[in-house]
């Protein structure tokens, strides 16, 4: 049994992926039309825009970019304006001559000159955290698209299982017709006719189960895609799923898989960026040990000797101000200790993740090896089982074989076909899982 061939392309570069992910995302329509047909590439493309995990990861990037803007604001001059107006009893007036009102307008600009390296390190830390969020998006995309692939393959598997059970039922019905004709002709007993009827009835159970698996697999695919529509049209209409499962042997060297994972896994790159960000946070925490120096300048307009605006006093001012917490009760030491601990925790998490990735790659490679061997073996068995059914029918029609031989051969053929499509499914899933473990992007992301 053949399926549409999917040839895996080399892993996409990070620049190409980020360009794809940076495309402005429109909000999905309230009601999404149910497609007439759906292939794997279309499903992948749809999931890139509608999968909820991917959309949430994009929003985390926007959040982190906002933090970068907020922290970077400390590196440029800040301008503020304030105004005040009051009415009061002349007996408590602070002005001369005494007045029952007062007002003042101030315009001030300030610029931090020195903050012990805290501003620079804080900005760099947030920029590294933003880069980590970009890598998190890449990891989320890889994981989400793997789930889409597996869900799509599962739909194809369920559809093929329906075909196998329908074929089995059709062959058993033909056997029942032959047995009935022979019974009516008086050449066989009623027992053979009854046995054929039981076989037909039993064959309907796995067909019903396969049909239900097909419906449930569609729901799993809908969840992976982020297809939220659940209208009456969706309940009635089932898209035509384009594609079939196929065994296309590929080669994966274990050491090359390890090397690829260590270089391309976005989750490892993300943790490395977070470790660098934590290192900058240590500098930020220690910056309060040093004085802060800022320059300021402004213009002031306040009430003069009368309430007339023309008599107001005004003028400019410039200066430098500094603040130095000489002793803060060891608060700075506590912040530094916390920052160093967070840095060490992140480094340990990175080392643990590297070990986990190595184990994941080895397991995925082992699953690929097993799936390859099973797919090769199952293909040979189907050919043999098909020939066995043909010979059993020929012997039965010639009167040298029994009905039991035919039914047993048919059961073996159905089992072989089920094993084959299951092996093809497992192989395609194993290849996709190994590519994801190696840090390779889905093949359709680059197209």
Q: pLDDT tens digit string along 363-411?
A: 999 999 999 999 998 888 988 888 898 898 888 888 788 878 888 888 8
Cα–Cα distances in angstroms (integers) from residue 305 to residues 82, 89, 423, in the given order: 21, 16, 95
pLDDT computed for residue 18 by the predictor: 36
Cα–Cα distances in angstroms (integers) from residue 225 to residues 43, 54, 144, in the given order: 7, 10, 9
pLDDT computed for residue 405 by the predictor: 83
| Residue 379 near residue 249, CB atoms below 8 Å | no
pLDDT computed for residue 29 by the predictor: 44
Rounded to an integer, what distance in angstroms lies between the CA atom of residue 46 and that of residue 50?
6
Least Cα distance to 377 among 341, 343, 424 occurs for 424
Annotate 284-321 with b (16+ C-beta within 10 A) or e (fewer): bbbbbeeebbbeeebeebebeeeeeeeebeeeeeeeee
CATH number, domain with residue 253: 1.20.1600.10
Residue partners of 55: CB distance under 8 A and separation at least 6: 25, 226
pLDDT computed for residue 234 by the predictor: 67
Q: How many Cβ atoms from other residues are within 10 Å of residue 256's Cβ?
A: 11
Q: What is the CA radius of gyration of the chain?
A: 37
Q: Give per-residue pLDDT as tens, 181-201.
A: 888 888 878 888 898 899 899
pLDDT computed for residue 253 by the predictor: 95
Rounded to an integer, what distance in angstroms lies between the CA atom of residue 300 and that of residue 95?
17
> Would residue 5 count as lying in a domain?
no
> Would residue 89 count as lying in a domain?
no
Residue 196 token pair: 């054929």
> Would residue 411 count as lying in a domain?
yes
Structural domains in the chain (count): 1
Residue partners of 320: CB distance under 8 A and separation at least 6: 113, 293, 294, 295, 296
pTM of the model: 0.81
> Would residue 355 count as lying in a domain?
yes
Rounded to an integer, what distance in angstroms lies between the CA atom of residue 66 and that of residue 270?
19
> Would residue 193 count as lying in a domain?
yes
> Would residue 295 count as lying in a domain?
no
The parent domain of residue 54 ranges over 14-75+117-289+331-446
Task: Tell me which residue has tokens 């620049």.
Answer: 15
Rounded to an integer, what distance in angstroms lies between the CA atom of residue 431 and that of residue 22?
28
Least Cα distance to 149 among 378, 431, 446, 439 occurs for 431
**402: region left, alpha or beta (phi > 0 left; psi from -120 to 50 alpha):** beta
pLDDT computed for residue 139 by the predictor: 95
* Alpha helices (runs of H) in 186-265, residue ranges in sequence order: 190-225, 232-236, 254-264
> Would residue 312 count as lying in a domain?
no
Please provide residue 265's backbone torsions phi and psi, each rounded to the nearest 5 degrees.
-65, 115
Q: Residues of the chain whose pLDDT is less than 70?
A: 1-32, 34, 96, 233-235, 446-447
Q: Which residues pair with 112 in a beta bridge?
A: 294
> Would residue 133 count as lying in a domain?
yes
- First-last CA distance in the chain: 28
């Amino acid at each position: 049994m053949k399926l549409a061939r999917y040839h895996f392309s080399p892993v996409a570069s990070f620049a190409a992926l980020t360009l794809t992910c940076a495309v402005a995302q429109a909000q999905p329509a309230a009601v999404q039309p149910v497609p007439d047909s759906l292939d794997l590439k279309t499903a992948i493309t749809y999931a890139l825009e509608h999968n909820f995990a991917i959309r949430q990861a994009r929003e985390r990037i926007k959040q982190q970019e906002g933090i970068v803007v907020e922290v970077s604001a400390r590196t440029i001059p800040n301008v503020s304006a304030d105004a005040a107006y009051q009415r009061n009893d002349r007996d408590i007036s602070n002005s001369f001559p005494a007045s029952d009102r007062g007002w003042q307008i101030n315009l001030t600009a300030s610029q931090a000159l020195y903050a012990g390296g805290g501003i620079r390190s804080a900005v760099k830390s947030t920029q590294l955290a933003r880069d980590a969020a970009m890598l998190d998006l890449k990891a989320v995309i890889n994981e989400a698209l793997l789930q889409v692939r597996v869900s799509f393959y599962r739909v194809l598997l369920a559809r093929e299982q329906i075909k196998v059970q329908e074929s089995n039922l059709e062959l058993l019905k033909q056997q029942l017709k032959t047995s009935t004709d022979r019974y009516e002709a008086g050449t066989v007993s009623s027992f053979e006719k009854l046995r054929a009827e039981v076989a037909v009835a039993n064959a309907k159970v796995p067909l019903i189960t396969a049909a239900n698996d097909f419906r449930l697999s569609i729901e799993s695919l809908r969840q992976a895609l982020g297809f939220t529509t659940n209208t009456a049209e969706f309940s009635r209409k089932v898209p035509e799923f384009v594609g079939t499962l196929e065994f296309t042997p590929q080669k994966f060297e274990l050491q090359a898989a390890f090397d690829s994972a260590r270089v391309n896994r976005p989750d490892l790159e993300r943790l490395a960026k977070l470790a660098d960000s934590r290192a900058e946070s240590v500098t930020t925490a220690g910056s309060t040990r040093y004085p802060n120096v800022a320059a300021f300048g402004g213009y002031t307009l306040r009430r003069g000797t009368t309430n007339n605006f023309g008599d107001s006093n005004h003028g400019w001012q410039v200066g430098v101000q500094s603040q130095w917490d000489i002793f803060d009760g060891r608060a700075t030491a506590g912040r530094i200790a916390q920052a160093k601990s967070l840095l060490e925790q992140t480094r340990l998490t990175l080392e643990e993740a590297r070990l986990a990735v190595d184990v994941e790659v080895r397991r995925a490679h082992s699953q690929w090896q097993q799936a390859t061997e099973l797919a090769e073996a199952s293909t040979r068995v189907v050919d043999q089982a098909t020939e066995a059914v043909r010979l059993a029918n020929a012997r039965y029609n010639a009167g040298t074989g029994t009905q039991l031989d035919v039914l047993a051969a048919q059961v073996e053929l159905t089992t072989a076909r089920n094993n084959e499509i299951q092996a093809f499914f497992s192989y395609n899933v194993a290849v996709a899982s190994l590519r994801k473990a190696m840090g390779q992007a889905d093949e359709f992301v680059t197209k």
